[in-house]
Amino acid sequence: MNADTSAPVGAITPTEYREVFGLLPTGVVAITGLTDEGKPMGFVVGTFQSLSLDPPLVTFCVDKSSSTWPTLRSLGRFTANILSTQQLDVCRALARKGEDKFQGIEYAESPIGTPRILNSTAWIDCHVASEVVAGDHYMIVGSVTAMESGAGDALMFRGGKFGEYSLWPTDTHPESRKPMNMLTRIVDAWSRAWGEGDTGAFESIVGKGYVRHSKTGEEGLPEVIRQIQESHAAFSDFKVHVLQAVEDSEHIAIHWKSVGTHTGNYMGVPPTQRTVTVNGASFLRHKDGLIIEESVVWDPRELLSSMNIWHLGDQVRRNA
């Protein structure tokens, strides 16, 4: 069956289409099947969803260029594996091109003879009920024969990035359910990133082309993520406390204090087992709700003093 999906020529560009639909979070689901020769096959979709309760039907879309779907279509059955936040490696493996995408992926066989990938959030076994050609995709309808819950939270995808769903706290007061304002949202995510090591929180508040200015020069997002990870690896009980935060129309200033026990190598200094305290400030410039530039100020001599390594502090003063 073919669906009429024509639109006025030039009305919507691919870039505009991707940008708008990139705002909509989706689940990440692996569609899997097992050939008659016992070879597991699969691919990842972000379009899987329920369609009908009675009878139980599901649907998903797959690009016409898929080399895997024609085989699964011919088998007439598949399992939809709702991937968990612990299965990003599975997602990336099945999203790539090639013949051995299942290498290293553990699975069990379902009652209908399809692969159920271990540690998924849930499994939904289906027979192919129908298929519609819609533009550059096939839209598949599956008839559900069995389903089972697994463990873990479902992996999510939005705007080219992976993440997870976070529930708002339950509260009887309506005002508590209002969306956070700009200052609260950014400071909360910034604090979770540096104070708890939640790098995904930081990625959620930075925009394209983000740059950070510090004593060591300009740094991009990958370098900042690495610094967050290194800080938590080198200092046990590492926490960052926001002492004060203020904003104007384009900027946010955060006065902060970090505290942790030096239990790992940091800046070439072996563990001292000392409690380290550093104060600093970060100045953020934002646009369209995302940080595009950051300047950070802190004194490394305070860090070295806390470690009781003043000879290195003297070097810092001489080089300043």
Verify that 246 and 141 share a domain, yes or no: no
Verify that 191 and 307 share a domain, yes or no: yes
Identity of the amino acid at 20 = V
Verify that 7 and 156 share a domain, yes or no: yes
Is the residue at 25 inside a domain? yes
The confidence score (pLDDT) of residue 319 equals 41
Is the residue at 168 inside a domain? no
The confidence score (pLDDT) of residue 88 equals 92
Is the residue at 302 inside a domain? yes
Q: Identify the domain boundary among 140, 162, 184.
A: 162
Domain count, the chain: 2
The DSSP annotation for 2-65 comes to EE-----TTSS-HHHHHHHHTTS-EE-EEEEEE-TTS-EEEEEES--EEEETTTTEEEEEEETT
Verify that 225 and 95 share a domain, yes or no: no
Verify that 196 and 220 share a domain, yes or no: yes
At residue 214 the predicted structure's pLDDT band, cuts being 50, 70 and 90, is confident
Verify that 148 and 187 share a domain, yes or no: no
The DSSP annotation for 127-186 comes to EEEEEEEETTEEEEEEEEEEEEE-SSPBEEEETTEEEE--PPPP-S-GGGGSPP-HHHHH
The confidence score (pLDDT) of residue 111 equals 94
At residue 125 the predicted structure's pLDDT band, cuts being 50, 70 and 90, is very high
Which has more pLDDT, 138 or 299? 138
The confidence score (pLDDT) of residue 154 equals 93
- Residue 230 sits at φ, ψ, to 5 deg, of -65, -35
Q: What is the CATH number of the domain that holds 78?
A: 2.30.110.10
Q: Is the pLDDT of residue 5 over 60?
A: no
Q: Is the pLDDT of residue 314 over 50?
A: no
Of 21-30, 186-195, 308-317, where does mean pLDDT reach its minimum? 308-317
107 HSE (CA, 13 A, CB side) = 29
Mean per-residue pLDDT over the chain, rounded: 86
Verify that 184 and 276 share a domain, yes or no: yes
At residue 182 the predicted structure's pLDDT band, cuts being 50, 70 and 90, is confident
**Mean pLDDT confidence for 247-275:** 87
Dihedral sign computed on CA atoms, order 67, 71, 73, 77: negative
Angle at which helix 221-234 crosses helix 182-196, to 10 degrees, equals 50
Q: Is the pLDDT of residue 304 over 80?
A: no
Is the residue at 120 inside a domain? yes
Residue 32, CA distances (Å) to 62, 68, 72 in order: 13, 9, 8
The confidence score (pLDDT) of residue 315 equals 43
Q: Is the pLDDT of residue 278 over 90?
A: no
The DSSP annotation for 53-122 comes to TTTTEEEEEEETT-SSHHHHHHHTEEEEEE-BTT-HHHHHHHHS-SS-TTTT--EEE-TTS-EEETT-SE
Is the residue at 223 inside a domain? yes
Tallying the residues shown for the chain, one arrives at: 320
| Interatomic CA distance for residues 318 and 315, integer angstroms | 5
Which has more pLDDT, 130 or 2? 130
**Mean pLDDT confidence for 120-130:** 96
The confidence score (pLDDT) of residue 28 equals 95
The confidence score (pLDDT) of residue 7 equals 53
DSSP state of 270: P
Q: Is the pLDDT of residue 6 over 60?
A: no
305 HSE (CA, 13 A, CB side) = 8
Is the residue at 134 inside a domain? yes
Q: What is the pLDDT of residues 215-253, one digit of tens each?
A: 778 999 999 999 899 989 988 888 888 999 999 889 999
Verify that 158 and 190 share a domain, yes or no: no
DSSP state of 271: P
Q: Identify the domain boundary among 133, 162, 191.
A: 162
| Interatomic CA distance for residues 115 and 32, integer angstroms | 6
Domain that holds residue 87: 2-162
Is the residue at 167 inside a domain? no
Is the residue at 315 inside a domain? yes
The confidence score (pLDDT) of residue 169 equals 63
Q: What is the CATH number of the domain that holds 213?
A: 3.10.450.50
Residue 249: which residues within 8 A CB-CB, separation 6 or more? none
Q: What is the pLDDT of residues 141-179, one digit of tens each?
A: 999 999 999 988 999 999 888 988 877 765 555 554 445
Distance of CA 125 to the CA centre of its chain: 27
Verify that 72 and 29 share a domain, yes or no: yes
Verify that 70 and 105 share a domain, yes or no: yes
Verify that 241 and 147 share a domain, yes or no: no
Instruction: Specify burial of residue 197 (Cβ count, 10 A radius: 0-12, 13-18, 19+).
Output: middle
Q: Is the pLDDT of residue 312 over 80?
A: no
Distance of CA 239 to the CA centre of its chain: 22
- Residue 77 sits at φ, ψ, to 5 deg, of -155, 155
Q: Identify the domain boundary among 127, 162, 197.
A: 162
Q: What is the pLDDT of residues 11-48, one digit of tens each?
A: 888 888 888 988 899 999 999 999 989 899 999 999 99
| Interatomic CA distance for residues 131 and 20, integer angstroms | 26
Verify that 200 and 271 share a domain, yes or no: yes
Measured CA angle at 289 (ends 285, 295), to 5 deg: 20
Give the highest mean pLDDT range of 57-61, 225-229, 263-267, 287-291. Answer: 57-61
Encoding tokens for residue 63? 């690009």
Measured CA angle at 4 (ends 18, 11), to 5 deg: 40
Which has more pLDDT, 5 or 98? 98
